[in-house]
Chains A and B, each alone.
Chain A
Amino acid sequence: MKDHSAVPLAVEPAPAPARQRRRLQAGRHVTPYLLLIPALAVIGGVLGYPLFRLVTLSFQEYGLPELIAHKGRWIGLDNYREIFSDRWFWTVLGRTIAFTAVTVGLTMLFGTLIALLLARLGTFMRLLITTGLVLVWSMPPVVAVNIWSWMVDFEFGVLNWTLAQLGFESYAHHDWFVNPIQGWAIITAIIVWGAIPFVAITIFAGLTQVSGELVEAASIDGANAFRIFRDITLPILKPIFVILASLSVIWNFQVFTQIWVIRNARPEDDYFLLSIYSFVESFNTSQYGLGSAIALVMVLAMLVVTFVYIRQMVRIGEID
Chain B
Amino acid sequence: MRLRMFATAVLLIALAIAAASATGASQASPARAQADALTVWLMGDAQANWPEAVAAANQSFKSQHPGTDVNVQYQSWGDYKTKFEATLSAGSGPDVIEFGNTDVPKYSAAGALAPLTRSDFPNSGTWLSGLTKAGSYNGKLYAVPYYAGARGVIYRTDQYQQAGITKTPKTLAEFNAAMAKLMKKFGGSKNPTYSAVYFPGRYWYAAMSFVYDYGGQIATTKNGKWVGALNSPKALSGLTAWRNVARSFSRANKTGDEAHPQQALVFAKGKVGSFVGNGWEWPYALDPKLGNPSLSNKIGAYPMPSHTPGKYMPTFLGGSNLGVPVTSKQKALAADWIAAFTNTANMTRMATGGGVIPNTTSLAKINAAKPTLAPFAEAAKYSWFVPSTPNWANVESANVLQSMLSGILRNPSKTKELATAASARITEILNSR
Pair A285/B193 contact, Cβ less than 8 Å: no
Bound Cα distance from A30 to B1, whole angstroms: 12
Which 5 residue pairs spanning A and B have beta carbons closest together? A284-B397, A64-B110, A154-B253, A285-B394, A283-B82
Smallest Cβ-Cβ distance to A34: which chain B residue: B8
Is A12 in contact with chain B by the CB < 8 A criterion? no
- CB within 8 Å of B: which of A193-215? none
- CB within 8 Å of B: which of A25-47? 27, 30-31, 34-35, 37-38
Partner of A155, one of B111, B253, B398: B253
Partner of B397, one of A63, A155, A264, A280: A280
Partner of A63, one of B266, B399, B433: B433
Bound Cα distance from A286 to B9, whole angstroms: 47
Determine how close the nearest CB of chain B comes to the CB of A160; give it in whole angstroms: 10
Pair B256/A154 contact, Cβ less than 8 Å: yes
Bound Cα distance from A268 to B192, whole angstroms: 27
Bound Cα distance from A34 to B15, whole angstroms: 12
Number of A-B contacts (CB under 8 A): 90
Bound Cα distance from A172 to B326, whole angstroms: 51
Bound Cα distance from A156 to B268, whole angstroms: 14
Is A68 in contact with chain B by the CB < 8 A criterion? yes
Pair B399/A155 contact, Cβ less than 8 Å: no
Is B251 in contact with chain A by the CB < 8 A criterion? yes
15 contacts between A and B (CB under 8 A): A64-B85, A64-B110, A67-B88, A67-B110, A68-B110, A68-B112, A155-B253, A172-B192, A173-B193, A175-B256, A177-B255, A266-B399, A266-B402, A280-B398, A283-B82
Q: Which A residues lie within 8 Å of B82 (CB)?
A: 283-284
Contact with A along B127-141 (1 / 0, CB 8 A): 000000000000000
Bound Cα distance from A178 to B116, whole angstroms: 46
Pair B261/A155 contact, Cβ less than 8 Å: yes
Determine how close the nearest CB of chain A comes to the CB of B143; give it in whole angstroms: 16
Is B289 in contact with chain A by the CB < 8 A criterion? no
Determine how close the nearest CB of chain B comes to the CB of A211; give it in whole angstroms: 40
- CB within 8 Å of B: which of A96-133? none
Is B222 in contact with chain A by the CB < 8 A criterion? no
Report which A residues bind B (CB closer than 8 A): 23-24, 27, 30-31, 34-35, 37-38, 63-65, 67-68, 70, 153-156, 169, 172-173, 175, 177-178, 264-266, 268-269, 280, 283-286
Is B107 in contact with chain A by the CB < 8 A criterion? yes
Q: Which B residues lie within 8 Å of A266 (CB)?
A: 202, 257, 399, 402
Given A31-B4, A173-B192, 17 additional A-B pairs, CB 8 A: A27-B4, A31-B5, A31-B8, A34-B9, A63-B433, A64-B88, A67-B85, A67-B110, A70-B89, A155-B261, A169-B192, A173-B251, A178-B254, A266-B399, A284-B394, A286-B106, A286-B394
Is B329 in contact with chain A by the CB < 8 A criterion? no
Smallest Cβ-Cβ distance to A20: which chain B residue: B1
Partner of B399, one of A34, A172, A268: A268
Contact with A along B320-342 (1 / 0, CB 8 A): 00000010000000000000000
Pair A285/B397 contact, Cβ less than 8 Å: yes
Q: Which A residues lie within 8 Å of B12 (CB)?
A: 34-35, 37-38
Q: Which A residues lie within 8 Å of B298 (CB)?
A: none
Partner of A68, one of B193, B326, B410: B326
Bound Cα distance from A68 to B4, whole angstroms: 51
